[in-house]
Amino acid sequence: MFESETAPTYHLETVEDNQFVLNLGPQHPGTHGVLRVVLHMDGEYILTADPVLGYGHRMQEKIAETMTYTQVLPYMARMDYLGALSYNQAWVCLIEKMCGLEVPRRAEYIRVLCVELNRIASHFLWFGAFLLDLGAFTPFLHAFADREKILDLLESVTGSRLTHCYFRFGGVGADVDDDFFAGAQAFVDHMRQHLPTYHSLVTGNVIFQERTKDVGVILPFETWGYGLSGPVLRGSGKQYDVRRSEPYSIYPELDFKIPVEQSGDCLARYLVRLREIEESLNIIEQAVAGMPDGPVRSKVPKIIKPPEGEAAMAVETPRGELMIYLVSDGTKVPYRVKYRVPSFANLSIFSHLARGQLLADVLAILGSLDMVIPEVDR
């Protein structure tokens, strides 16, 4: 060991011998957005990792208190831009629940169809980004080529590619045509053929296995305490999915499984997501086959004024359980809105997982949690 006088000074703050503080982010491709992680490191090992949040804070809850119920709708898509339709769904379902509005069955089917397409698109983007974190570039291009097909489909229905604002209170914005159903079915057939490519390209790859197996293990007993949900939770052997445990919309009538993996590592979370894509394909197929005819929007009052009181609604977004809690004072603007977002809860376990890991593994762990930072900061 050198004495500190002779020790080389890095641009990094030297804390003790071989120990230093490294700022990961806020503008680092590995953190997928403006998340900053302060890493206290000893050589290449992490001593502590503290996420610093709030770079993308936009006061979404406060904004909602100044808007009418309809005007809040476009803001939903800005929180989780990858699962915009799930957020749309949570908000419209919540208001429908509070006001007791009817939703035509065709509208429910269209909603589920769109939400599941959106879920697959989100998982594809995660797949590409996660593998980029691990240093593989090609899978990213494959995933994006397939995601493009979904975006084109959704664009033909909602008019936008990412920040959809399509669901309305009591139904959906506009009816869909047969081309869309044909397109969705064609996409399902295409993916069934193409998914094995993903597995042969990535899942079986030795380097990938080495990088993800037994990395960032979340033990089953830790999951509830951290409030985990979504694929992160199901990767640790807990079979919990809001679509089954607190069913909403038409999910009880559909036949799909909740994929669960036992090992709790990054590989498990990866496998859960890939299997979720398959299950979503099943749901899409069933929704297309069972699509009823009829109206897509019921008669709703022009100005939405939920009765005084409070309500909560939970939905399963691609990242986990989203719950919106609403207090209404009977006027046309919400009194208080609270979003319980999945990414935020999932991020809370990160410091615990990162401790004692190598820097490269920490990026894999961060990637496997699948976060959308605007959703964390909201």
Partner 1 sequence: MNWSYAQNIITGLVSLVKGMQVTMTTMLTPSPTVEWPSETAPLPPRFRGHIMLVADESTGFARCIACGACSRACPSNCIQVIGEKPEGVKKKSPTLFQLDFTKCSLCGLCVESCPVAALAYSRDYALAGPDRQVYSSMDLLTGFASPLTEQCHEL
- Is residue 331 a contact residue for partner 1 (CB under 8 A)? no
For partner 1, give the closer residue by CB, 52 or 63: 63
Which helix or strand (DSSP H or E) is residue 320 part of?
Answer: strand 320-328
Establish if 298 lies at the interface with partner 1 (CB under 8 A).
no
Select from 37, 75, 95, 111 the one that contacts partner 1 (CB under 8 A).
Answer: 75
Q: Note whether 214 binds partner 1 by CB under 8 A.
A: no
Q: Binding residue for partner 1 (CB under 8 A) from 156, 239, 245, 331?
A: 156
Of 89, 158, 280, 357, the one binding partner 1 by CB under 8 A: 158
Across the strands, what pairs with 171? 168, 297
What's 31's DSSP letter? G
Q: Out of 21, 53, 67, 311, which residue is the one contacting partner 1 (CB under 8 A)?
A: 67
As measured in angstroms, the least distance from the Cβ of 205 to partner 1 is: 5
The answer to whether the CB of 272 falls within 8 A of the CB of 231 is yes
DSSP state of 215: S
Q: Helices in 204-337 by DSSP H: which ranges? A: 206-212, 220-223, 231-234, 242-245, 266-289
Structure tokens given for 128: 């590409």
Q: Which stretch binds partner 1 (CB under 8 A): 26-34, 160-168, 268-276, 305-313?
A: 160-168
Please list, in sequence order, all residues whose beta carbon lies within 8 angstroms of the beta carbon of residue 326, skipping any fewer than 6 positions away. 94, 98, 306, 310, 311, 312, 334, 336, 337, 338
Q: Which stretch binds partner 1 (CB under 8 A): 23-31, 49-57, 92-100, 196-204?
A: 196-204
> Which CB atom, from 142 or from 378, has the smaller least distance to partner 1?
142
Whole-number Å distance between alpha carbons of 98 and 313: 10
Strand order in the sheet with 320-328: 309-317, 320-328, 336-340
> Does 145 interact with partner 1 (rule: CB under 8 A)?
yes
Give min distance, CB of 98 to partner 1, in A. 20
Region binding partner 1 by CB under 8 A among candidate stretches 72-80, 102-110, 122-130, 335-343: 72-80
Are 254 and 286 in contact by the 8 Å Cβ rule? The answer is yes
Using rule CB under 8 A, residue 15 touches partner 1: no
Burial of residue 302 (CB within 10 Å: 0-12, 13-18, 19+) is: exposed
Comparing CB distances to partner 1, the nearer of 175 and 246 is 175
CA dist 345 and 354 (Å) reads 16
Please state the closest distance from residue 209 (CB atom) to partner 1, in A. Answer: 9
- Told to check if 189 binds partner 1 by CB under 8 A, we report no
- φ/ψ bin of 374: left (φ > 0), alpha (ψ from -120 to 50), beta (otherwise): alpha
* Of residues 19 and 203, the one with the C-beta less far from partner 1: 203
Return the range that interacts with partner 1 (CB under 8 A); candidates 11-19, 40-48, 151-159, 249-257.
Answer: 151-159
Phi/psi for 11 (5° steps) reads: -75, -10
Q: Which is nearer to partner 1, 190 or 352 (CB)?
A: 190
Binding site for partner 1 (CB under 8 A): 67, 70-75, 78, 138, 142, 145, 148, 152, 155-160, 163, 165, 173-174, 197, 200-201, 204-207
